[in-house]
Amino acid sequence: MKRIFLAILLLIFSVVPVVAQEATESGERQIQKVTEQDITERTSPVKGRLEGYLSQKQPGELDWKNFLQIAIRQAVDKGVSANTIVLVLLFPLVAGLIAAGRHLLGFQGFGIFVPAMLAVALVATGIKVGLTLFMVIYLTANVARKITQKLKLQYLPRMALLMWFISLGVLGVLLGAVNVEAVSSLSAASIFPILILMLLTENFIEVQTGKSRHEAANLILQTLIIAVATAFLLRLDVIQRFVLLNPELFLALVAAFDWYVGKYVGLRALEWVKFRKLVK
Q: What is the pTM of this model?
A: 0.69
Angle formed by the axes of helices 82-100 and 237-245, to 10°? 110
Phi, psi of 129 (to 5 degrees): -65, -40
How is the chain split into domains, by residue range? 62-279
User: Highest mean pLDDT range out of 65-79, 101-115, 117-131, 245-259?
Assistant: 245-259
Q: State pLDDT tens for residues 73-115.
A: 888 888 888 888 888 888 899 889 888 888 888 777 777 888 8
Cβ-based burial of 110 (10 A; exposed 0-12, middle 13-18, buried ≥19):
buried
Q: State pLDDT tens for residues 154-194.
A: 888 888 898 899 889 888 888 877 776 655 666 666 777 88
